[in-house]
Chains A and B, each alone.
Chain A
């Protein structure tokens, strides 16, 4: 059970390499297609953009709070979180409206669905192709041993039970490629764009609730900030630096 099988060279040439090449090419294709589809649509709603900018301003204020004097920080804080006309204060009814509007907006929904589909369809197609053409033989040997429980998962088309679990079918080679090529894509495509499922799902779930909840979240965050003047002896330090420069 521990002998080395000798595998046909043709398997290397006609299974492993073409499968990897096809997956790389499909990844590149998907990246370009998603780029094309994204740029051809979408006039952003001005109200949403305005709210987004307000949030960014409030966030900057929170981050850099310690570099402005206490009085000016407080003035800015009141401007944002004032009860009557503060920028971050949204009455409850209006908040709900914005969220519902975003979800029922047909453009947005279709966009999300398009992105989802462009992820799922190539994977499904490739998997079906692999199963159809490349099943029933040993495709590769993984260099590390695994327990017997993995046998049913990795050796799908191979019906001999005495073959070492290290010899896997091409389906497991497909999955190995699927996970391993993500790193390669992030290198050759710039940002890791259309190939990471979990990242995009997080992005999508965060975007739906964005306007209504994050305004109040920013307001709370701003209320919490304690101002600590971070530049107390600044004049003396500036003087010391200038002296060093002059002398």
Chain B
């Protein structure tokens, strides 16, 4: 799937000035942000289908969404080797960016799977 393949292309982007102001290559940063967005969207779709199949309802479903987003953030952090500052601006960007963007897709696929499986 496109999201997974592209995460291999997280590129080194800050110059390695050890004691100076960090400089960021804009194009690489944009690419990294795009990769993150794809990953989150993909995971929220898959998470929606899983939540529907499992039969989660109500609050449990939203808790599951936040769980999926947390797993995605952890996965992205691990992929960046936990040295966030050489790939992203700050920790906030990798943890919170696009957190709620996948919510609508999640709800759609959750409803879809839940209906198909449970109210057949």
A residues in contact (CB < 8 Å) with B: 4-7, 9, 12, 16, 20, 63, 66, 140-145, 173, 176-177, 179-184, 186-188, 230-231
Contacts and interface: CB of A to CB of B under 8 A. Distances in A.
Contacts of B52: 143
Interface residues of B, number: 37
Contact of B108 (A144, A177, A186, A187): A177
A5 B52 CA distance: 17
Most central of A6, A176, A184, A187 by chain B CB within 10 Å: A187
Nearest to A181: B108
Given A7-B119, A9-B120, A187-B3, A176 B108 contact: yes
Contacts of B58: 143-145
B115 A182 contact: no
Interface in B51-91: 51-52, 56-59, 61-62
B26 to A, nearest CB: 8
Interface string B95-120: 00000011011111111101110011
B59 A16 contact: no
Given A9-B120, A141-B119, A143-B57, A183 B105 contact: yes
Given A144-B61, A176-B107, A184-B105, 20 more contacts: A7-B119, A9-B120, A63-B26, A140-B115, A141-B111, A141-B115, A141-B119, A142-B107, A142-B111, A143-B114, A177-B108, A179-B104, A180-B104, A180-B106, A181-B105, A183-B45, A183-B102, A183-B105, A187-B3, A188-B2
Nearest to B106: A180
Contacts of B102: 183
A183 B107 contact: no
Contacts of A63: 26
Contact of A12 (B21, B61, B106, B120): B120
Contacts of B44: 183
Contact of A187 (B23, B42, B110): B42
Nearest to B18: A237
B61 A143 contact: yes
Contacts of A142: 107, 111
B21 A230 contact: yes
Contacts of A177: 108
Contacts of A184: 41, 45, 105
Most central of B37, B44, B115 by chain A CB within 10 Å: B115
B2 A187 contact: yes
A144 B37 contact: no
19 contacts: A4-B119, A12-B115, A66-B21, A140-B119, A141-B119, A142-B107, A143-B52, A143-B114, A144-B61, A144-B62, A173-B111, A176-B108, A176-B111, A179-B108, A182-B104, A187-B38, A187-B41, A187-B42, A231-B20
